[in-house]
Amino acid sequence: MMKEKIQDLAKTIFDDVVANRRHLHSHPELSFHEVETSAFIAKKLNELGLAYERMADNGLVALIKGEKPSDQVVALRADMDALPILEANDVPYKSQNTGVMHACGHDAHTSSLLGTAKILTSLRSEFGGTVKLIFQPAEEKLPGGASLMIKEGVLQNPTPQAVIGQHVMPFIDAGKVGFRAGKYMASADEIYVTVKGKGGHAAQPQQNIDPVLITAHILTALQQVVSRFADPKTPSVLSFGKVIANGATNVIPNEVYLEGTFRTMDEAWRAEAHIKMKKLAEGIAESMGGSCDFNIMKGYPFLVNEEKLTASARGFAVEYLGEENVLDLDIWMAAEDFAYYSQVADSCFYRLGTRNESRGITSSVHTPTFDVEESALQLSTGLMAYLAIKQLGN
């Protein structure tokens, strides 16, 4: 049976997948700078005899065509960039690029897709249809490598009927995966605000226009955008994580600088909220004698998993792993540029469990101690190959 063949192949190539993951983990590169990573992927594709096309500078796209007759196309996506984090793990494959770390599992994603490619290449004679491999740069930084690759035609020639991606999840035990149909991850916008007043001696407030006080009113009032304007059924988050008022105990500064994020799962409400936030902040500042420069950098859209595709993918995962190893997920207010694919094509983005409490592998993504339970890489390579072949109708 196809399942057993894929499971055997995943077991056979497991050591190679781990070696590839460790190489990538040791040599992380930041978004839009994945030159050596791209070269490594190209080398591995050449070894498999797969031609590839470059997109978005460091991205690569390759096709695996089954030998049985079918015009169906499925795309599989992996991201490849790392984060500006100093790794704290004491492991043989620790990052050799100081201050740069694969703290979000993209090394696992890329090595898994390379393993999946190896499995599918060896099974060409046994399935019909085309698998499009998307090795994508710059997931971690706006405007996102997905948006750039889509603009350059990654979903054309041929056009996939489905786009599938997987992402590590340190809150799920290795050996399990998670799915959610419908809205899954949030849009993410970056907010940059400068509140301007007139600084001076703190003991003479009547001579000043206090931007610190204005900022306090703005921060409090902006929460009304979520609590009073948003539909309670629409998840929304507004948070400010950076506030700089560079005065002193007796000095009121001229201005205060803020940075924050706004996240939601409705594009119409997202646009409306942008207008309300800006109008509210500027109005408060003006009413108190100051001014406010309120700038929003629009980020990734929300991620939606197409209902039928996700239901079928979940069903195939149950076939491959067993019902007890396939979980149902809740919404997740983090953001992912895979959302761009989901906005223009039927897509499914699922979670790969990588947690192992017995080995202390429990850290969240984007932390200096993040790591993955590598046994999950045998599952990740085989499951994605199985999903691709089954979605192609084989």
User: Of 29, 34, 79, 81, which one is the catalytic site residue?
Assistant: 81
Give a three-class secondary structure readout of the chain.
CHHHHHHHHHHHCHHHHHHHHHHHHHCCCECCCCHHHHHHHHHHHHHCCCCEEEECCCEEEEEEECCEEEEEEEEEEEECCEECCCCCCCCCCCCCCCCCECCCCHHHHHHHHHHHHHHHHHCHHHCEEEEEEEEECCCCCCCCHHHHHHHCCCCCCCCCCEEEEEEEEEEEECCCEEECCEEEECCCEEEEEEEECECEECCCHHHCECHHHHHHHHHHHHHHHHHHHCCCCCCEEEEEEEEECCCECCEECCEEEEEEEEEECCHHHHHHHHHHHHHHHHHHHHHCCCEEEEEEECCCCCEEECHHHHHHHHHHHHHHHCHHHEEECCCECCCCCCHHHHHHCCEEEEEEEEEEHHHCECCCCCCCCCCCCCCHHHHHHHHHHHHHHHHCCC
Annotation marks residue 267 as catalytic:
no
Annotation marks residue 87 as catalytic:
no
User: Of 34, 87, 107, 139, which one is the catalytic site residue?
Assistant: 139
- Enzyme catalytic residues: 81, 139
